[in-house]
Chain A
Amino acid sequence: MRIPRFLLVRLASIIPVLVGVTFLSFIVARVMVPNAARAWAGLITNAAVIHQLTVEYHLNDPLWQQYGYYMYDIVTGNWGLSPSTKLPVLYEIENYFPATVELVIVASILSILFATVFGVYAAVKHDTKADHAIRLTYLSGIATPPFLAALVASIVFTHLIRVFPSGGELSPGLVAPRITGMVILDTLITGKFGLFANALYHIILPASVLAFLGYGIGARVLRASMIESLNQDYIRTARSKGLAESRVIWSHAFRNSLTTATTVLALNVSALLGGTLVVEYIFSWPGIGSFAVNSILNYDFPSVIGTTLVYAIGVVLANLVADVLYTYLDPRVRL
């Protein structure tokens, strides 16, 4: 069986990546906050508290020893206690995780949809005015700093034109049943359609902003790939068979561009993950992004490292999915 072996190899390659990521986060965290114990102890404190924290978090031990403790903990699932909230980091992450997943999924769907529609259309109409106009949007998406995009969207759509709510998963006062933690899914499963609609209404703006930030990459690659596909001989054959143009574009050209497109779309997801930090924070979305921002502001390294790890795993998984899809989509690679 070909696929499982290949999967194992890819899964194994995750480990070096994660080791690298944790190491880097560890170093960065230590470098950025020279006096961690003091920061954690809070404003009103005394030497005894600081001392206790120092001992507890091994802050005075040689760096390599600290790294040792840290890695051991991570691997055994003890991701530490957040010094600011006093709760286990892993617990916090589990708490906030679903909201981010939900947001990223919706944003990915939107991003893929936009990339596909605008990429293919631009390719079919390439070198026309429509094409040039569309390409401008790719660039604006990629070039806009996330915080700017989020802020502008927030101001315009929640303040100036009050179309969307300014934040949160649900309007204040509403509570959703908690099964998976993903509000949209939970309300759908339990049949609370009123809440479902409300949740949708809340997710659309932040998801769209996220989608907008990333879609340009995928769209541009898809466009280039489609233009190349459309120039191939088999397209001429397809037309000579008398097929409808839509079939030629989708079943023939697009099918061939899918392989390049999927790799890019996976990379897109990675870009999306990065954008969640800012977008969640600005839209008060209770996900890991907000949690990460708050942890950074509080010099809470265990949490920061924990969230970095989660993002790293996310990116790696996205790439893994892309690789598997790639093999599935292109028979030449498979065989």
Chain B
Amino acid sequence: MPERPGGEPPLIELRDLAIHFSLGGKTLKHDRGKVVHAVDGVSLAIFSGETLALVGESGSGKTTLGLAFLLLYRPTSGSVLFQGKDLWAAKGKELKSLKRYCQVVFQDPSSSLDPRMTVEAIVTEPLRAIGGFDENHYISRAVEILRLVGLDSPDLLGKYPHQFSGGQKQRIGIARAVITTPKFVVLDEPTSALDVSVQAQILNLLKAVQQEYNLSYLLITHNIDVARYMSDRIAVMYAGKIVELSDAETVIERSRHPYTLGLIRSVPELGSSAPLQGIPGDVTSATAPPPGCRFNPRCRFAQDVCKTDEPSLREIQPGHWVACHFAESVS
């Protein structure tokens, strides 16, 4: 999979990752024996300092894939490599030291912050997990980080999450994520639970923090506009696979996968009253994906080969990867 032009190796990457969940309890659920193919054979690399957006709708597997970078899901096959080292093979101390470099900001600040912990406890927790510092250091780092994210009131540290607004809670979440000076942060729909005006503030904050620490971001989102605003490259997911990958502008302005096209055209544009075009049909069943290309039942351009052969991700132009038999003719 890709290397940056210049030959720089990726900071963190997935190789042929597959994550399957088997359904069905031990006794009587009728789903027994079925397997959910949440992620199927995905390879993805993220380079230092860049923001890669993982865009998809519900059921696409984007959250599972994104959290797989953090070892939050055990892969059914494939590997997760950080600076070339296989994370699932690493043990104990080595793993611990690697983990400090990978952090996460979750979607809903109301449920991702423990309501029974003070702000100080929440924000210093990752640092304490690494250990080796004295108490004053933790506190001073916490104050410093909180100031960086725009929270600066006197008794801030002793307060509890419920005393803050949604936007402020998310700032706390961000503070928690960067206190260990990580290199890579997964942003799982960081602004979906927030109002538009607050969303804007948080996005700008994330950009500023990225600059300050030279971070790489994996931005998981269903919102194309946010992806466009924040990221260098965009990967579009559908039914557990990446269907298109390129730099942001190309994916949006010159999409070559029918799904991406449909997606872009479904987004309501501010100031236009042009008719929206959705994609008819329902999202592919995760347990029984159709044979051939998973998008074929809903695809306008589908031909016979689409129903039998699953297209692989191929580079139709330098840096632009599409998984479609007819990518060249789609527009």
Contact = CB atoms under 8 A, between A and B. Distances in A.
A6 B29 CA distance: 10
A5 B27 CA distance: 9
A71 to B, nearest CB: 28
A160 interface: no
A100 B27 CA distance: 35
B28 A6 contact: yes
A73 B183 CA distance: 73
A335 B30 CA distance: 7
Nearest to A9: B27
A9 B30 contact: no
Interface residues of A, number: 5
B107 to A, nearest CB: 21
Contacts of A5: 28
B27 A6 contact: yes
Contacts of A9: 27-28
Interface residues of B, number: 3
Contacts of B27: 6, 9
Interface string B1-41: 00000000000000000000000000110100000000000
A212 B28 CA distance: 37
Interface string A302-335: 0000000000000000000000000000000001
A320 to B, nearest CB: 14
Interface on chain B toward A: helix, strand, loop, or mixed SS? loop
Contacts of B28: 2, 5-6, 9
B23 to A, nearest CB: 13
A78 B28 CA distance: 36
Interface string B188-220: 000000000000000000000000000000000
Interface in B20-76: 27-28, 30
A2 B28 CA distance: 8
A6 B27 CA distance: 8
Interface string A142-180: 000000000000000000000000000000000000000
Interface in A1-19: 2, 5-6, 9
B252 to A, nearest CB: 35
Nearest to B31: A335
Contacts of B30: 2, 335
Interface string B93-111: 0000000000000000000
Interface in A204-226: none
A228 B54 CA distance: 38
A7 to B, nearest CB: 10
B305 to A, nearest CB: 36
A268 to B, nearest CB: 25
A5 B28 CA distance: 8
A133 B27 CA distance: 44
A297 to B, nearest CB: 44
A299 to B, nearest CB: 43
A187 B30 CA distance: 47
Nearest to A3: B28
A231 B30 CA distance: 31
A30 B11 CA distance: 73
B287 to A, nearest CB: 15
Interface of B: 27-28, 30
8 residue pairs, one from A and one from B, having the closest CB atoms: A6-B28, A9-B27, A2-B28, A5-B28, A2-B30, A335-B30, A9-B28, A6-B27
7 contacts: A2-B28, A2-B30, A5-B28, A6-B28, A9-B27, A9-B28, A335-B30
Interface of A: 2, 5-6, 9, 335
Given A2-B28, A6-B28, A9-B28, 5 more contacts: A2-B30, A5-B28, A6-B27, A9-B27, A335-B30
